[in-house]
């Protein structure tokens, strides 16, 4: 049995991954240049700020307290393998469902963007700060989740989350 060959009809999904990667790295360069060393920039009062931060951990800062070399292995080597597997699956896998391929493209671009940060900066640049100012809604969020403040994130994180949601939607859609 011959392995599947690269399907050029999948190139738009690699272009999506590249777009997420370029937007992520460009926005992080801007955030580093314009926000580092400055206070919070309020964009939408009570909801959205720009604030420069560095995340040495993984998603939501998990593993940031882990000692090296284990943190480096966990947050660099495994994501490198994941990027390779996603790229392979996106280029040569048998999946043809567009939302699935779009989700993989978004995840690939986001994972590559954060991986580049870890390799070249030693941590991931985050700068998007979403929260809910004190209100009834904020009280509900605090009761349910312990906070009304989402962890600071970046465009790569957004690509990963939107891509994962697309994959979950396709799984649930198939089950129906």
143 catalytic? Reply is no
Catalytic pick among 24, 117, 129, 157: 157
| Gap between the Cα atoms of 146 and 139, Å rounded | 9
Active site residue 157: yes
CA dihedral of residues 137, 48, 79, 119 (deg, nearest 10): -150
Q: Which of 117, 126, 129, 143 is catalytic?
A: 126
Q: Cα-atom radius of gyration of the chain, to the nearest Å?
A: 18
Q: Do residues 106 and 163 lie in contact, with contact meaning Cβ atoms separated by under 8 Å?
A: yes
How many Å apart are CA 110 and CA 25, to the nearest integer? 10
Listed residue (14, 22, 171, 163) closest to 88, CA to CA: 14
Phi, psi of 68 (to 5 degrees): -75, 150
User: Which residues are designated catalytic?
Assistant: 126, 157
């Amino acid at each position: 049995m011959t392995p599947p060959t690269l399907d050029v009809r999948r190139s738009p999904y690699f272009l999506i991954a590249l777009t997420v990667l370029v937007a992520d790295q460009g926005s992080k360069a801007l955030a580093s240049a314009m926000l580092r060393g400055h206070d919070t920039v309020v964009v939408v009062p009570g909801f959205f700020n720009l604030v420069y931060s560095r995340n040495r951990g993984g998603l939501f800062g998990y593993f940031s307290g882990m000692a090296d070399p284990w943190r480096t292995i966990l947050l660099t080597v495994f994501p490198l393998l994941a990027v390779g597997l996603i790229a392979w699956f996106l280029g040569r896998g048998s999946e043809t469902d567009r939302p699935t391929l779009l989700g993989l493209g978004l995840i690939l671009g986001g994972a590559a963007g954060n991986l580049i940060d870890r390799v070249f900066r030693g941590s991931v640049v985050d700068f998007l700060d979403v929260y809910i100012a004190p209100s009834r809604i904020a009280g509900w969020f605090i009761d349910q989740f312990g906070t009304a403040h989402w962890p600071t994130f970046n465009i790569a994180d957004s690509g990963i989350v939107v891509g994962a949601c697309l994959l979950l939607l396709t799984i649930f859609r198939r089950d129906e």
